[in-house]
Amino acid sequence: MDYFEYRDGVLCAEGVALPEIAERFGTPCYVYSAATIARHYRVFDEALAGIDHEICFAVKANGNIGVLGLLADLGSGFDIVSVGELERVITAGGDPAKIVFSGVGKRVDEIERALEVGIACFNVESEAELERLDAIAQRVGKTAPVSLRVNPDVDAQTHPYIATGLKENKFGVDIARAEALYARAAEMPGLMIRGVDCHIGSQLTQLAPFRDAVKRVLALIDRLAERDIVIDHLDVGGGLGIRYRDETPPSPAAYAENIRDLVADRDLKLVFEPGRVLVGNAGVLLTRVELLKPGQSEDDKHFAVVDAAMNDLLRPALYDGWHEIVAVAPRGDTQARAWEIVGPICETGDFLGHGRELALAANDLLAVRSAGAYGFTMASSYNARPRVAEIMVDGDIPHEVRARETVADLMRGEKRLPFV
């Protein structure tokens, strides 16, 4: 459920009509619903009732400080993959003691800062990273809490670019080598073993691969116990999918029930890293039709050129990701036809949707649905296009939680070569 709905023929975000947002803040812009984010977080948290757990929102899905602050107020922890995300969480009021740090290439300065603020755990993804972390922790007089991200070689049955649990993927360590690496970590004075981590991919729509991965990791935890290596938490990652078009992802309740029996008799805290499932359907990309470029015949393609582009929402071009595109104020005076919804960037791959049946005229507003995850966080300034504003609606009040960039912002720090 989300809080984007039509009222008197106009799409609204909670109590605010989207045309009002377009008029006040301009287009394109991202619009988020605070009530939707809060509801999704609570539904996820309530599904885990009876399981000792921590929810650590995956910041890579949406790093806006307004979004992170809302989640921090709800009690969320955070999963980060860079020092930039760490600083965002701290600025938003997040608790460093509820942060887990993932990622295959943590730099020395990133590790030092995470140790300084006292994060909950480093999810270590290679033997080389274990050695680096141990050396840095000893040098700065800290003990680094660690879990190994193990690769269970499970096919998540998702897009290959967002599958992370196979041997061929760059993430984690082979589960067959994990015992030896844990034994080595136990001997490193700068490290403190805390958990085991596993994440098999994003936009998961089936539970069987997830359950299979958890069973394999629990078997590893049992083998570690035989070596007197005690694990106090299992980080099962995130990746629960959402409905973009015709997917039927499991509910958070089904997701939780799928593993409840596996951990029922264990003294083990579970860490979850949801991202998309909390914020994906809580946001839209609001865009305006600049001009229409119909084909010469009905068999030709008809192009609706909008002011948003692939630099604003990359998923369609990168993953061939499908997003529902709807008219903000549907027309009854214009015949619908199949439109290619494209942006102004000089790339044939600059599209938001193919063959969308819409009744359109120039200056109409469109909403690209399910854009709250991996939308702005993947945006760029390609073609010297400033990144868009982000608006958070709370009830009947729209808040600008990120101002639109300017061209001057893009050129800040750049210089010509000095004249000779």
Distance CA 233, CA 55 (A): 12
Whether the pLDDT of residue 56 is over 60: the answer is yes
* pLDDT, tens digit (0-9, with 9 covering 90-100), for 288-347: 999 999 988 877 899 999 999 999 999 999 989 999 999 999 998 889 999 999 999 999
Residues 237 and 385 reside in one and the same domain? no
Please tell me whether residues 271 and 249 are part of one structural domain: yes
248 and 337 part of one domain:
no
* Residue 85 marked in a binding site: no
Same domain, 219 and 259: yes
Q: Which of 29, 121, 198, 346 is catalytic?
A: 346
- Which residues form the domain of 384? 4-31+280-411
Residues 265 and 290 in one domain: no
If asked whether residues 25 and 40 sit together in one domain, one would say: no
The reply, when asked if residue 194 is annotated as ligand binding, is: no
Which value, to the nearest 10 degrees, does the dihedral of the CA atoms of residues 10, 15, 18, 20 take?
110
- HSE, CB side, 13 Å, CA atoms: give it for residue 235: 33
Q: Is 375 annotated as a binding residue?
A: no
Residue type, 110: E
Residue at 420 is within a domain: no
Please give the tally of structural domains in the chain: 2
Same domain, 323 and 236: no
Q: Is residue 385 marked as binding?
A: no
d(CA 95, CA 76): 9
d(CA 152, CA 145): 22
Last residue of a domain, one of 251, 277, 303: 277
How far apart are alpha carbons 217 and 215 in whole angstroms? 5
Asked if residue 43 lies in contact with residue 252, where contact means CB atoms within 8 angstroms, the answer is yes
Domain presence at residue 416: no
State how far the Cα of 85 lies from the Cα of 59, in Å rounded to an integer.
7
Residue 274 counted as an annotated binding residue: yes
pLDDT band at 419 (very low <50, low <70, confident <90, very high): confident
179-236: pLDDT as tens digits = 999 999 999 999 999 999 998 777 777 788 888 888 999 999 999 999 999 999 999 9
Residues 226 and 349 in one domain: no
The model's pTM: 0.93
| Residues 234-272: tens digit of each pLDDT | 999 888 888 999 888 889 999 899 889 999 889 999 999
Instruction: Give yes or no: residues 234 and 302 share one domain.
Output: no
Residue with tokens 């579970």: 270
Are 283 and 30 contacting, i.e. CB atoms less than 8 angstroms apart?
A: yes
Same structural domain, 386 and 266: no
CATH number at residue 249: 3.20.20.10
Mean pLDDT of 16-40: 98
Instruction: Note the pLDDT tens digit of each residue in 157-180.
Output: 544 434 444 455 567 898 889 999
Q: Are residues 81 and 171 in the same domain?
A: yes
Rg (CA), the chain: 23
Are 312 and 352 in contact, with CB atoms under 8 Å apart? no
Told to judge if 346 belongs to the known catalytic residues of this protein, a careful annotator would answer: yes
Decide if 52 contacts 269 (C-beta within 8 A). yes
Bridge-based pairing state of the strands 4-7 and 10-13: antiparallel
Q: CATH no. for residue 285?
A: 2.40.37.10
